[in-house]
Amino acid sequence: MSQQDNMALEHMTIRGKFWGTEQGQPTIALHGYLDNANSFDMIAPHLSGLYIYAMDFAGHGLSDYRAPGDLYSGLNDIRDILCVADKLGWQTFNIIGHSMGAEIGSQLAGFFPERVNSLICIDGFCGTNVASETLGHLRSTIESSFKKNSSLKVFPSFEAMTQRLCEATGQNKTSAMCLIERGHKKVEGGFTWCTDPRIKGSGPLELTPDQLNALAENIQAETLFIVADRDNSWLSRTLDVIEPRHDANITIVDLPGHHHIHMQERSAEVVQLINDFIHGRLDKTA
């Protein structure tokens, strides 16, 4: 059973939900781009020995928008995570991240290795690209902060919103409805997303291959990297850098499926992998 909880930080309020008991290992769960804390509803109740805080990133779900002029960037997200951990009194903690959350979580583990005990990445890890592309994405992040009076599409019904998300992402109806439940609001004419429109065009900090190699070198946490969709070009670029390294602390497991595999039919297998990893039962030679 989860409980809702708000983290009133000095600069904004981050909202999320707890799973497990305070006796479990402190764990912060980080959702993907345009998703929210409900991303972990299907696996969190079945993860043993963990005390999980699944947070909505700024501008997502029920968390506050960033102030006018502030950037939606991975660096600000990392700072927010550390502020949440400090608010909870967690000097060290585990990270479970999906997609963008795994990108940001792996960066945090590389920048602040002393804070992260274990790192679990579901179909995501720090993104990489050639320098010209990373510079272009930095420019886009700055440009997106200048958006004014932009709005998101209004849907006539909750069902229409669900259908559109299924079409756009290939998710099944169950997982789409789970995300929309926390990510929508009623407006004149129907329903729309809670998401801050300024997020479009921004994203996590993307590193060059050399920078990604240096980041991986810094990660001390035992790491489980679950790979679901190798057809994603951004993920395959990262794997091209990480797999040849053969880091002893990074275990890569292929579990072919949808990008939202932790919310789809194979969610029980994701749970088993994470439980085995957390409790030292995962066969790293398989």
Calpha distance 252→77 (Å, rounded): 25
Identify whether residues 78 and 134 lie together within a single domain: yes
Identify whether residues 186 and 60 lie together within a single domain: no
Q: Residue 148: which pLDDT band, with cuts at 50, 70 and 90? A: confident
Residue 87 counted as domain residue: yes
Calpha distance 219→102 (Å, rounded): 13
Nearest C-alpha neighbor of 270 from the set 285, 253, 250: 253
Q: Tens of pLDDT along 43-72?
A: 999 999 999 999 999 999 999 999 998 999
Identify whether residues 11 and 33 lie together within a single domain: yes
The pLDDT of residue 202: 85
Annotated active-site residue in 63, 73, 99, 144:
99
Residue 284 counted as domain residue: no
**99 belongs to the catalytic site:** yes
Identify whether residues 140 and 41 lie together within a single domain: yes
Identify whether residues 127 and 256 lie together within a single domain: yes
Q: Tens of pLDDT along 71-82?
A: 999 999 999 999
Identify whether residues 127 and 165 lie together within a single domain: no
- Range 93-111 burial, b when 16+ CB lie within 10 A, else e: bbbbbbbbbbbbbbbbbbb
Q: Tens of pLDDT along 82-96?
A: 999 999 999 999 999
Residue 109 counted as domain residue: yes
The pLDDT of residue 151: 79
Identify whether residues 139 and 160 lie together within a single domain: no
Query: Taking residues 88-113, what's their average pLDDT?
Result: 98
The whole-angstrom distance between residue 117's C-alpha and the CA centroid of its chain comes to 17
Q: Over the chain, what is the mean pLDDT?
A: 94
The pLDDT of residue 32: 97
pLDDT of 2 over the 50 cut: no
Q: Tens of pLDDT along 176-189?
A: 999 999 999 999 99
Asked whether the beta carbons of 269 and 109 are under 8 A apart, the reply is no
Domain final residue pick, 166, 194, 222: 194
Residue 27 counted as domain residue: yes
Identify whether residues 112 and 35 lie together within a single domain: yes
Identify whether residues 51 and 107 lie together within a single domain: yes
Residue 105 counted as domain residue: yes
The pLDDT of residue 74: 94
Domain final residue pick, 194, 221, 254: 194
Q: What angle do CA 59, 48, 45 make, to 5 degrees?
A: 50
Domain that holds residue 15: 3-145+202-278
Structure pTM? 0.96
Report the CATH number that the domain containing residue 80 is assigned in CATH: 3.40.50.1820
Query: Taking residues 232-261, what's their average pLDDT?
Result: 97
Query: Taking residues 215-225, what's their average pLDDT?
Result: 98
Identify whether residues 8 and 44 lie together within a single domain: yes
Identify whether residues 264 and 236 lie together within a single domain: yes
Residue 285 counted as domain residue: no
Query: Taking residues 143-168, what's their average pLDDT?
Result: 90
Residue 283 counted as domain residue: no
The pLDDT of residue 149: 67
Counted domains in the chain: 2
Identify whether residues 231 and 108 lie together within a single domain: yes
The pLDDT of residue 147: 83
Residue 34 counted as domain residue: yes
Q: Tens of pLDDT along 233-246?
A: 999 999 999 999 99
Query: Taking residues 191-197, what's their average pLDDT?
Result: 94
